[in-house]
Each structure stands twice: as structure tokens, then as C-alpha cells.
Amino acid sequence: MAKADFAVPVLKQYPEIPAIEPGVMAHSAPFKSKEEFQAPLGFPGQLVDDWQQKALDKMGDLLGRYRGLRVYLDSCVKCGSCTDKCHYYLGTHDPKNMPVGRQDLMRKVYRRYFTLAGKFFPKLVGAEDFTEEVLSDWYSYFHQCSQCRRCSVFCPYGIDTAEISMAAREIMDHIGVGQKYCNEIIAKVYRIGNNLGLPGPALADTLEGLEEDVFDDTGVEVKYPLDQEGVDILFVTPSADFFAEPHVDGLIGYGKVMHEAGVSWTFSSYASEAANFGMFIGSYDNMRRVALRIREAAIKLGVKRIVFGECGHAWRVAYSFLNTLAGPWDFLDPRYPVPQHICEFTYDLMQQGKLNFDKSLNDDMVLTYHDSCNVARASRMGDRPGGQFDIPRAIIRATCNNFYDMDEDTIRDRTFCCGGGGGLLTDDLMEIRVKGAQPRVEALNNVIQEKGVTHMAAICAICKSQFTKVLPYYGMDMDQIVSVHQLVSNALILTGQTSDEDAEETADEAA
């Protein structure tokens, strides 16, 4: 078990709604950003003079640009439906981690300065001045929200706390109070092309190594091309896929699927990142700048289609925002959706009978599937609502014999976030990450106990990294988390592949 200097939540058989413990997570705040990370994003390097007025100005600006923000701040009736829905509340018991509690941190400022009632009767409507204490609460608790949107499912008005967290982070960035992790990473994308800062040559090296591995394994020359012009498909994937475990096993799977599809494709070193942390910090400008790299790469490489690898928030930005941010895509092949998810791509091939699976190759695992929050509640796959739940499951069922879903209340659009999304996947937030994982890990633990599940598949780079790190805190193994396309890769029999069985058969025939 991993060591923790905080109490790791105890897993229960039946979920419990904890009693509130005010203030217990007030100390949890990520490292602050510095001048060198703020400047490339266009933000001041430290707390500006007159920060209060500047923050309010920015808030007014956002209220005029985002209808959602305005409507959400006005509409909450404090019904309480969302109060027990956030994994961070369930794991920490801090009422400011209840979605409405988190919203109220901004709402009380909004009411004080932007509404009649709050200007004249602040006490009555819970309005408060924007003091330093309030700002400090903002920094703590708006970095304890993974923007997973679970709260918005259960709110009668669909109030999405993620939108409020994003706006809060955008406001804080504008007064020089940024978060190091997100802003450093975005600066890295501008400088190098991906979150991990992997330069082109390193990528080429890695991909070459993978080609050799796959050839050794299968005897088939599967290619993992980089920066190849004039191919059909630009493949954009989170940079963790290039080397982290279990991500890279998924990436091997993408290549095999592309190979079987018989399409020409390439990664791009310029757009070697599907993730877009611009969303986490609520910055339209930065999100757009990151997204435009994909457009530039697509034009430069002269591709006809764009396919995205496994990543949750990346798929949200791709599916829901890419057309807005970097479109129109009229220069691509109109017969295919732009962009396409690798799961959609694989599923289509399955439908056409082009993929030959031997499910028994995954028989060493009993699987369950984690719906990543951004895929589940902020995007779609296929042409029917809910395809984002059914398509990955169909792929798992086609590639594995043993699959069990977790409790209904914790999957599909009610899925629990892994606890590391929304820009929280950093070591300085380990406590909130471990505690926030509790509801998901609890449901996982129950299928482990009841169904003998051994592994959980996911289609998100953040989920994979987060579980690898936090499962050991709960006494589980880090390699119990796998990529969906890792399962595909395991079970897929490539055309012309020399497998052990073939060898045996030939031996039988000879005898």
C-alpha cells in the first residue's frame, strides 16, 4: 500500500452520504504558477495591484460572454439535489466540495456586486465582499473540482459547476493567481507541441521502437508513422500514450487497427497532443490556440480525416468544441465526422467484419469499464445519444470473454470521476486525488469482491495515470487499470500474423 500522510477513506460495501465537516480541506491548494508560466499564456505573473476591482471587471466580462455562467449563478434554488453527488464531497466531507457549496463561493461575490438584492441586503441573501479570505477559498476549492459535470446531471436546471470553476480559474489567472501545473503544461504545448514536452526526435524514436516490438510479437510490419504528408488520417492522441503504462499498450492497439483498416495515417509532432488544458483553466483564448495547432497540422500534412486517441477531456474539446474553435473543416473528407474517436473507428471496422478477434487472448483478465466523465457527460460517439457508453462496451465485449459493469449508480452518465481530472493530476494535490477517487474505487472494489473483476478498462489518459497512482493507496495494484485499445491489441489477430496457434496447427498437420 502506498504511504499517505492523510487518512485514506475506508471502502464500504454500500455507499454512505457523510455528515458535513466544514473546512477540513481548506488547506488543500495546488502550487501557484510563476511569471515564466503565466506570461506565455497572456496572464500577469503575480497578484496584481487593485486585484479586487480587476477580478470583478473580469467577472462582469465573463457574465456578458457566457450565458451559462449568468443563468447558473441566478437560478440555483438551494434545493440540495447536487449536495451528495460530487466525489470530492463524498471523499472529503467538506461542504465547500458540495457542488452548490462550491458554486456559492462565486455566487456570494456575484450577488454582492452584480445583483440588487446583494447590494442592499447582503446578509439576507448570503452575499459577501470579495476579500482575501474569499480569494483564498476560491483558489483552494476551485482546484478541488475536476469539472466532471456529475452535479449537472442531477440539478433540475442543469447547473454545471464545471462552468463556474472554469470561470473562477479564468478570473484568477487574470489577476495573476494561476495554477502551476496547468499553466506550465500549456506553455509547454506552445513551446514543444505536447504536455510532456517530448520533442519530435524523441517521438520518432519511441514509435520506431514500437514498430520493432510489434514486429517481434506478430511478425507483421505495423507502422507508427510520424509527420508523413499526404496520408489520409491525422491521428491526435494524448502525449502520455507515447510512453506511459498502460497508455502505450493502447497506442500499439491504435496502430494495429489502422493497419487492419488499410488506411494511411500519421501522428504529427507539431500537434502531438490531444489534451487541451486550456479548457481546465476556462480560457477560450488558450483553448483555441492549442486547438488551432491541430488545424495547422492537418493543413500542412494534407490529410482528409482526423482521428483522436483515448482521452476524456480531449474528446470533449474535440467532439464538442473543435469545430467551434478551429473549424470549419470543409477541406476534409465530408463522408466522415470531424473528428472521429478511435473507438468509433474501431467499432465501424468491427461492424464491417474487418477485425478478427480471438477473445480468449484476454482470458487472464476479468474486466469492468470506467466511463470517463468528459466522454460520458460532455460528448458522444456514433450517431445516437448514449453511443459514448455503448461503443466502448461493445468493443470490450468483442475482445474479452469476461466483462461486468459496476453498480448502475456509478456508470454511464452517473459515472464517478477518477478524481484526477480538471487539471488536478499533480502530486501537490495528492490528498484530494486519493480522497476524490473513493466513490469510484468503492464501486470497483465491490465488483472485485462480487464478480472477481481483476482489471478496469478506461479510455482516458488522465484516468489511467490517476488510477495507476491512487489504486495502491487503496491496497490495489497499479496495473489493474488498462486501456481499451490494449484489449483490442491483445485480441486482434492481424492479417498474416504468425501466432503460436498457427505454429501448433502446422505442427499438428505435419504429424
Partner 1 sequence: MTYISTLYAYLFYFAAFVLVAGLAAKVFQYARTPAPLKIPTTPAPTTRAGVAFRITREVVFFESLFRGNKWIWIFGWIFHFGLFLVTLRHLRYFIDPVWAPIQFIQPFGVYGGIAMVVGLAGLWARRFLVDRVRYITSPSDHLILALLIAIGLSGLSMRFVVHTDVIRVKEFFQGLYVGQFSTLPADPLLLGHLLLVALLMIIFPYSKLLHMPGLFFSPSRNQVDNPRERRHIAPWARRLEQQ
Residue ranges in contact with ligand SF4 by CB under 6 A: 76-82, 85-86, 88, 99-100, 102, 145-151, 155-157, 159, 161-162, 417
Cβ pair 180, 33 in contact under 8 A: yes
147 contacts which partner out of partner 1, ligand SF4, ligand HEM, none, CB within 5 to 8 A by kind? ligand SF4
Q: Does 377 engage in binding with partner 1 (CB under 8 A)? A: yes
Grid coordinates given for 266: 500519421
Q: Go through 16-40 and write b for each residue having 16 or more CB atoms within 10 A of its CB, e for each that does not.
A: eeeebeeeebeebbbebbeeebbeb
101 contacts which partner out of partner 1, ligand HEM, ligand SF4, none, CB within 5 to 8 A by kind? partner 1
148 contacts which partner out of ligand HEM, ligand SF4, partner 1, none, CB within 5 to 8 A by kind? ligand SF4
Q: Does 292 engage in binding with ligand HEM (CB under 6 A)? A: no
Among 23, 156, 230, 302, binds partner 1 (CB under 8 A): 156
Q: Sign of the C-alpha dihedral, residues 130, 133, 138, 139?
A: positive
Q: Is 94 helix (H, G, I), strand (E, B) or coil?
A: coil
* Nearer Cβ to ligand HEM (127/432): 127
Residues 313-332 close enough to bind partner 1 by CB under 8 A: 319-321, 323-324, 327-328
253 contacts which partner out of ligand HEM, ligand SF4, partner 1, none, CB within 5 to 8 A by kind? none
Q: Does 156 engage in binding with ligand HEM (CB under 6 A)? A: yes
* Nearer Cβ to ligand HEM (124/292): 124
Dihedral angle over CA of 131, 137, 143, 147, nearest 10: -90
Mask for 400-439, x = binds ligand HEM (CB under 6 A): ----------------------------------------
Who contacts 344 (Cβ-Cβ below 8 Å, separation ≥6)?
A: 337, 381, 382, 387, 391
Name the residue among 415, 351, 416 with its Cα closest to residue 383: 351
238 contacts which partner out of ligand SF4, partner 1, ligand HEM, none, CB within 5 to 8 A by kind? none
Q: How far is the CB of 61 from ligand SF4 (least distance, A)?
A: 23
* Nearer Cβ to ligand SF4 (94/273): 94
Q: Does 496 engage in binding with partner 1 (CB under 8 A)? A: no
Q: Does 281 engage in binding with partner 1 (CB under 8 A)? A: no
Q: How far is the CB of 280 from ligand SF4 (least distance, A)?
A: 12
Q: Go through 283-309 and write b for each residue having 16 or more CB atoms within 10 A of its CB, e for each that does not.
A: bbebbebbbebbbebbeebebbbbbbb
Local structure of residue 305 (DSSP, 8 states): E
Which amino acid, one-letter code, is at 133?
E
The number of beta carbons lying within 10 Å of the beta carbon of residue 52 is 17
Among 56, 137, 163, 203, binds partner 1 (CB under 8 A): 163
Q: Does 117 engage in binding with ligand HEM (CB under 6 A)? A: no
Among 23, 79, 495, 505, binds partner 1 (CB under 8 A): 79
240 contacts which partner out of ligand SF4, ligand HEM, partner 1, none, CB within 5 to 8 A by kind? none
Task: Tell me the C-alpha distance between 453 and 402, whole Å.
Answer: 8
Give all strands (DSSP E) within 193-260, no chain letters.
233-236
Mask for 51-90, x = binds ligand HEM (CB under 6 A): --------------------------x-x-----------
E strand or H helix that includes residue 268: none
Task: Tell me the C-alpha distance between 56 and 118, whole Å.
Answer: 15
Please provide residue 368's backbone torsions phi and psi, each rounded to the nearest 5 degrees.
-130, 170
Task: Tell me the C-alpha distance between 309 and 235, whole Å.
Answer: 7
Cβ pair 358, 493 in contact under 8 A: yes
Which residues of the chain form contacts with ligand HEM (CB under 6 A)?
A: 77, 79, 156
